């Protein structure tokens, strides 16, 4: 495998120096990477036509983008929502005792077992057979968790034009069912050298976010959680393809007139080594660009109230993870990550994104955050404050 990887790496180096791109056409075709795609890489929304292969090259260079191929008419239309409503998010905690009680149930052995299973698939690449299998496993896992609920909780597949489906878990609100509070993460993984050929354990990216949310959901269900607003857990497919799964989900929500009042994305919650190696205190990275500032203030309140580590503001750039799909559809969203961006996991998108590099204490901190976020917002009366 080493020599194979080396060969692939040399090809990647060659790719960036090749003047005639057509040299790569046959290889792209053989690997199924020659599809033409339409992407957007910055807030000026200039459409760019690229092949799948070129998309990988951009990602390797750290460029984030929306792949809007399947949503081009909506994305470039005049009436795309530009105003994101402002809501009266809580400015103090009201469910301190409940949340602190729930926090005592966080089980690190559980976090470990779920992440071990998720990262054991050859790859969770969205267009692969194993990516479909991992989605089926996650679906059954979610069904087994909600099985303990005293009231009905829906676990549904959200299908796309590729193999791996997204999953949506819905705990319907008893008083304000139309106000939807979303907790998101992405279930797919990728290997940026050759996604169709190489292993992609994706333990941190984003197995850790999935694991964080699975554990929070398990604890909420077993406590008999019955919120007044609707609370949903989303497990998106194809984030690594350019936010494809979440774009499908949130454009569908927008078309159906659904009212998402808050969306919190968690993408990478487990790696802390580089932070510690630099002599920096363990912390949560709170993204402050391309997010909703009011919701982000509330997220900071949750960290101050329910975690034992502090937060630091950091930037991630345009279209960095699935929260961007929510915001683009006019839904307020926030994004938290394992640390300040400069200390995040350097092994992602490769065969080395493995579980042994992660801290389950750190993942447990993000589970605390989800418990605080869902309970405080689950019993909140939302009002728009900008109209
Ligand atoms: C929250 O609850 C904990 C114990 O459950 C208590 O020690 C703490 O003082 C409370 N904080 C607030 C702000 O009420
Ligand atoms: C369901 O509840 C039972 C009884 O309390 C418990 O033993 C089991 O672990 C729970 N299942 C899950 C998935 O939490
Ligand atoms: Zn990710």
Ligand 1, atom 14, lies closest to the CA of: 96
Nearest atom in ligand 1 to 96's CA: 1
Q: How far is the CA of 378 from the centre of ligand 1 (A)?
A: 19
Instruction: Categorize the per-residue pLDDT at 8 as very low, low, confident or very high, splitting at 50, 70 and 90.
Output: very low
Q: What share of the chain is helix, strand, coil (3-state, %, to 5)?
A: 40, 15, 40
Among residues 295, 259, 319, which one has the least CA distance to residue 75? 319
In which band, very low, low, confident or very high, does the pLDDT at 16 lie, cut at 50, 70 and 90?
very low
Whether 186 is catalytic: yes
What tens digit of pLDDT does each residue of 318-335 get?
A: 999 999 999 999 999 999
Contacts of 375 (CB under 8 A, 6+ apart): 95, 98, 99, 102, 220, 225, 227
CB 51 within 8 A of CB 33: yes
Q: How confident is the model at residue 18 (pLDDT cuts 50, 70, 90)?
A: very low
Task: Give the number of residues written for the chain.
Answer: 387
Tell me: pLDDT of 19 over 50.
no
CA distances to 55, 240, 243, 269, 331 from 40, in Å: 11, 14, 11, 27, 19
Neighbours of 143 (CB within 10 A): 13
User: Active site includes 151?
Assistant: no
Q: How far apart are CA 283 and CA 336, in angstroms?
A: 11
Q: Is the pLDDT of residue 13 over 50?
A: no
Give, for ligand 1, the residue of 90, 91, 99, 100 to mutate: max count of ligand atoms closer than 8 Å to Cβ: 100
**What pLDDT, on the 0 to 100 scale, is given for residue 11?**
42
For residue 9, name the pLDDT band (cuts at 50, 70, 90).
very low
Question: Distance between CA 110 and CA 46 in Å, rounded?
Answer: 44
Minimum-distance ligand 2 atom for the alpha carbon of 148: 1
Alpha carbon of 103 to ligand 1 centroid (Å): 13
- Please tell me the least confidently modeled range out of 16-30, 257-271, 300-314: 16-30
Domains (range + CATH), the chain: 4-75 (no CATH), 96-378 (3.40.630.10)
> Are the C-beta atoms of 295 and 89 separated by less than 8 Å?
yes
Cα–Cα dist 211/206, whole Å: 9
Average pLDDT, whole number, for the chain? 92
Confidence at residue 31, expressed as pLDDT on a 0 to 100 scale: 66
Q: By the 8 A CB rule, do 344 and 271 touch?
A: yes
Atom of ligand 2 nearest to the CA of 218: 14
Strand 166-171, strand 66-67: pairing? unpaired
Distance from the alpha carbon of residue 352 to the mean position of ligand 3, in angstroms: 15
- Mean pLDDT, rounded, for 173-185: 98
Local confidence band at 10 (pLDDT 50, 70, 90 cut-offs): very low
């Amino acid at each position: 495998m080493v020599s194979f990887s080396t060969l692939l790496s040399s090809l990647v180096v060659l790719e960036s120096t090749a003047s005639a791109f057509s040299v790569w056409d046959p290889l792209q075709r053989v690997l199924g990477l020659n599809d033409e795609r339409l992407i957007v890489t910055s807030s000026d929304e200039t459409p760019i036509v690229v092949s799948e292969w070129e998309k990988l090259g951009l990602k390797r260079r750290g460029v984030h983008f929306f792949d809007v191929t399947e949503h081009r008419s909506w994305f470039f239309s005049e009436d795309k929502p530009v105003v994101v409503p402002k809501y009266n998010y809580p400015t103090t905690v009201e469910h301190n005792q409940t949340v602190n009680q729930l926090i005592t149930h966080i089980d690190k052995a559980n976090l470990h077992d779920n992440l071990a299973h998720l990262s054991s698939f050859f790859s969770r690449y969205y267009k692969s057979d194993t990516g479909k299998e991992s989605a089926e496993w996650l679906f059954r896992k979610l069904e087994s968790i909600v099985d303990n609920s005293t009231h009905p909780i829906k676990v549904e597949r959200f299908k796309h034009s590729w193999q791996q489906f997204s999953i949506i878990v819905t705990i319907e609100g008893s008083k304000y069912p139309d106000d939807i509070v979303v907790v998101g993460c992405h279930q797919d993984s990728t290997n940026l050298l050759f996604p169709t050929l190489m292993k992609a354990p994706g333990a941190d990216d984003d197995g850790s976010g999935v694991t964080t949310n699975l554990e929070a959901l398990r604890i909420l269900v077993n406590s008999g959680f019955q919120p007044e607003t609707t609370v949903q857990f989303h497990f998106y497919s194809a984030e690594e393809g350019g936010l494809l799964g979440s774009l499908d989900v949130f454009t569908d929500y927008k078309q159906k007139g659904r009212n998402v009042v808050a969306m919190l994305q968690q993408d990478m919650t487990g790696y802390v080594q580089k932070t510690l190696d630099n002599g920096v205190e363990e912390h949560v990275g709170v993204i402050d660009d391309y997010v909703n500032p009011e919701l982000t203030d509330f997220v900071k309140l949750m960290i101050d109230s329910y975690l034992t580590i502090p937060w630091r503001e950091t930037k991630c750039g345009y279209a960095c993870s699935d929260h961007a799909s929510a915001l683009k559809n006019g839904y307020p969203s926030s994004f938290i990550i394992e640390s300040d961006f400069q200390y995040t996991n350097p092994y992602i998108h490769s065969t080395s994104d493995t579980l042994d590099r992660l801290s389950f204490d750190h993942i447990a901190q993000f589970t605390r955050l989800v418990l605080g976020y869902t309970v405080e917002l689950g019993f909140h009366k939302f009002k728009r404050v900008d109209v």
